[in-house]
Amino acid sequence: MTEVPNITIDELTKLRHDTERRFSYDRDELLVYIELRKLRALIETAEAHLSEQQEVVDWLTDALGAAATQNAPERALRTTEEAIELAQACGVDAESLHRLVDYVFARPVGNAAQEVAGTFLTLYSTAAALGVDAHQALRKELARVRDPKVMEKVRKRQAEKREALVGDLKGTLE
């Protein structure tokens, strides 16, 4: 049988309070440490995304020139083209897309920054539904489009698209 140490109630109470105080202090330190680690991870993630965005802008500038990076209507059309191609790859038919265009344009114009955020949310959730790691897909695509032959194809296709859209977007593609 284990012997119980000879200790008074007062000593036991003091020991309990000391232990609770020490545990509380250690717990608070641990919570601060955890929060700092979360904050550091958030900052690192934000920096990574900012550097990825800059990487894309740098590539676009190299491929199509600085004017293309600042032409929001042209970038929006390219975003739309890629979204339509993604929808097509997911089995969405043209008729559904035409109805969607009518639905969107029947509503008030949104805020561009909020719409960018919504585009990211939707893209990431679509990638998840497809089992695609969006970050890895972006890394792979950036590596692919840096090839000089691919960059030349991009330039040629962009010129063709601009030619085809000049009548529709007079003044926005310059």
pLDDT in tens, 54-75: 889 999 999 988 988 888 988 9
CB 26 within 8 A of CB 33: no
How far apart CA 138 and CA 56 sit, in angstroms, is 10
Question: Would residue 49 count as lying in a domain?
Answer: yes
Higher pLDDT, 19 or 160: 160
Question: Would residue 78 count as lying in a domain?
Answer: no
Residue 151 has pLDDT above 80, yes or no: yes
Domain extent, residue 38, equals 1-65
DSSP H helices, 131-147, are 134-145
How far apart CA 20 and CA 12 sit, in angstroms, is 12
Question: Would residue 94 count as lying in a domain?
Answer: no
Mean pLDDT of 123-151: 94
Q: What is the dihedral of CA 117, 81, 109, 73, to 10 degrees?
A: 100
Residue 49 has pLDDT above 90, yes or no: no
Question: Would residue 7 count as lying in a domain?
Answer: yes
> How many domains are contained in the chain?
1
Residue 173 has pLDDT above 60, yes or no: no
Torsion region of 65: left, alpha or beta (phi above 0 gives left; psi -120 to 50 gives alpha): left
How far apart CA 70 and CA 55 sit, in angstroms, is 15
Cβ-proximal residues to 145 (8 Å cutoff; 6+ apart), any chain: 59, 63, 151, 154
Question: Would residue 80 count as lying in a domain?
Answer: no
- Confidence class for position 174, pLDDT limits 50, 70, 90: very low
On average, the pLDDT of the chain sits at 85
Question: Would residue 146 count as lying in a domain?
Answer: no
Q: Give the SS3 label for residue 2.
A: coil
The pLDDT tens digits of the residues spanning 87-105 come to 999 999 999 999 999 999 9
Q: Can you give the pLDDT at residue 101?
A: 97
Mean pLDDT of 121-146: 95
For the stretch 65-89, what's the b/e string if a residue is b when 16 or more beta carbons lie within 10 angstroms of its beta carbon? eeebbebeebeebeeeeeeeeebee
Mean pLDDT of 28-40: 80
Mean pLDDT of 8-18: 75
Provide the sign of the torsion angle of the four alpha carbons 132, 133, 137, 140, taken in this order: negative
Question: Would residue 54 count as lying in a domain?
Answer: yes
Mean pLDDT of 106-119: 96
Question: Would residue 58 count as lying in a domain?
Answer: yes
